[in-house]
Structure 1
Amino acid sequence: MSATRSAIRPPASQPSKLAPAIFELLNPIPYGMFVGALIFDLTYMSSRNVFWGKGAAWLVTVGLIIAIIPRLLNFGHVWLQRRRRVTRIERMDFWLNLLAIIAAIVNAFVHSRDAYAMVPDNVILSVITVVLLSIAHVAMALNRLDLPEATHG
């Protein structure tokens, strides 16, 4: 019976390929939602059309909901797993994403205000969220370029 169980379970030395695939699939979606929310917030600030403010609120909310899974996977990769060394940039990416999510949570509460009472806080928080995520995405892209398997030898 123990031989059967060990044959079913993959060896502990093989890293999961599902978690990185899910992370790479879902991670860009919140970034797009938050960029869209920034565009909607800027449009709302200039037009005062409630449609844009409500749309931004929905984009922030959906972005936060979708951000849960990649952030949990990222937390596990950066702080819990010990299969491979985690780079300084991966840790920085974790913290920048965490700060961006905190700014987005505050932004979601700001968007719950009545009509024009959310301006300019909504724009400021959207800019902070997008800037933090942009820095994190650029840093990770540059980090991938430094990997040996990314170079053509």
Structure 2
Amino acid sequence: MNTENHPSRFSITSAIFNLLDPIPFGFFVAVLIFDIIYAKTANVMWVKSAAWLVSIGLVIAIIPQLINLGRVWFGKHRVRTTGMTINFWLNVVAIIAALFNAFVHSRDAYAVIPAAVWLSIVTVLAMGIGRIILAGETVTFKGYSHGQV
């Protein structure tokens, strides 16, 4: 009987990462929604709220990505898969786009559109595709066939 010992991927850092990783995605989706509403209504409240949301989302996004950096690239028991690597780089792209988006949102409200909408779309798409790739990789199917224990 062969048993393979795989290093455990659970630790306190993994728990913190799993807790904080989805939060920035929600902030960035809200930024995209607020930017679209501002583009349609020209009510300054929406773009100022989006500026706050993108700033808070950036602060929260950096913490799980630093944990992911250590876990995927520098960890003692690295368990690096292709999906984790792609997710990491897509999140880096999203954070850079969100940083530029924060700079765009620091302008006058009327100078924000259309750059803010495009940067929000890039941010949400990059994070969304990364989450989909990561979720598709972690799904496991257990097949049971007749006669095997």
2:65 is the counterpart of 1:68:
no
- State which of 83, 95, 103 in structure 2 corresponds to 1:101: 95
- State which of 114, 121, 126 in structure 1 corresponds to 2:120: 126
- State which of 123, 136, 144 in structure 1 corresponds to 2:138: 144
Once the two structures are aligned, what percentage of the paired residues are identical? 49
Distance 1:152 1:50 in 2: 56
Of the structure 1 ranges 47-56 and 14-23, higher mean CA displacement relative to structure 2 is found in 14-23
- Higher helix content, 1 or 2: 1
Evaluate the alpha carbon distance shift between residue 22 and residue 46 of structure 1 in structure 2; reply closer, same or farther with a 3 A threshold.
same
2:110 is the counterpart of 1:116:
yes
What runs of 5+ residues in structure 2 fail to find an aligned partner?
A: 1-6, 145-149
2:21 is the counterpart of 1:31:
no
Distance 2:106 2:134 in 1: 33
2:80 is the counterpart of 1:86:
yes
TM-score w.r.t. length of structure 2 = 0.87
Shift of 1:85: 3.1
Shift of 1:145: 0.4
- Name the amino acid aligned to 2:22: P
Evaluate the alpha carbon distance shift between residue 139 and residue 14 of structure 1 in structure 2; reply closer, same or farther with a 3 A threshold.
closer
Q: Give runs of ≥4 in structure 1 deviating > 2 Å.
A: 13-16, 150-153
How many residues align? The count is 138
TM-score w.r.t. length of structure 1 = 0.85
Shift of 1:96: 0.2
- Name the amino acid aligned to 2:94: A
- Name the amino acid aligned to 2:29: V
Q: CA RMSD in A?
A: 1.6
Shift of 1:16: 5.6
